Amino acid sequence: MAARTEHDEQTDAPPPSDPVPAPARRPRSRIAAAISVFGELLITAGVVLGLFVAYSLWWTNVLADREAAKQGDDVRHGWARQGTGGTPRSFDSKDGIGFLHVPAMRNGEVLVKKGTDPAALNDGIAGYYTDPIKSALPWDEEGNFTLAAHRDGHGAKFHNIHKLEKGDPVVFETRDTWYIYKVYKELPKTSKYNVDVLKPVPKESGKKKPGRYLTLTTCTPIYTSDYRYIVWAELTRTEKVDKNRTLPPELR
């Protein structure tokens, strides 16, 4: 029998089988897709929340400080035009009655205007109460000069209220007079509905007789508005403003 040639071997070889098709790619599951979308939404929400926090706790302070400085300059320019003299009651409470100085809070000077409407306090100022109990004013012979300001955001003028201690000075500046108060009691936490702290004689502070008191109020804990933080002070003396507006010893 003749030997088989290479050609014959190739010819007689079984035909190659059809290639095995690659397994079909499984369609992406709906659950995995939903998880992916949810994750992206969480990231986006986190970024938005972070921006909102930065706006609320930082940028609103920047804007409020600018506005407060402008309003404060307007008040001081008005005082310069009027000069000293006259009666305190001639002061225009629409523009501001004076400036609060609290060294322990390290908040600079704080313009004080009439009313405690949040929109007004957003300008980085403090306001004196007209409701639910009307505030006395510093030059009144007796009563409680009651003030409110934001603790966080919008200037955060009372942010460091917790640093005030018994004996610390609180000074209120008007066009003609420095009113020097001394802290005598703090109430770190009370209900936001506790209006007794604003009474002419704040008995909750331990006082039982009419006097010339000052009450500072703001929200607590920090970054919340669930409760109120209260500080009480009592007038110890007054000092006339000289032509150079020399600071009293408590502010030097």
Q: Which residues are catalytic?
A: 219
Q: Work out the number of other CB atoms within 10 angstroms of the CB of residue 115.
A: 16
Terminus-to-terminus CA distance in the chain, angstroms? 126
Answer yes or no: are the C-beta atoms of 154 and 122 closer than 8 Å: yes
Question: Cα 41 vs. chain centroid, distance in angstroms?
Answer: 29
Distance (Å, rounded) from C-alpha 37 to C-alpha 31?
A: 10
Q: Give DSSP secondary structure letters for 134-169.
A: PPP-TTSSSEEEEEE--SSSTT-TTTTGGG--TT-E
Distance (Å, rounded) from C-alpha 111 to C-alpha 98?
A: 6
Backbone angles phi, psi at 152, to 5 degrees: -135, 135
**Strand ranges (E), 53-152:** 98-101, 109-114, 126-128, 143-148
Token pair of 137 as six digits: 């004013």
Instruction: Specify the residue for token string 């205007």.
Output: 113
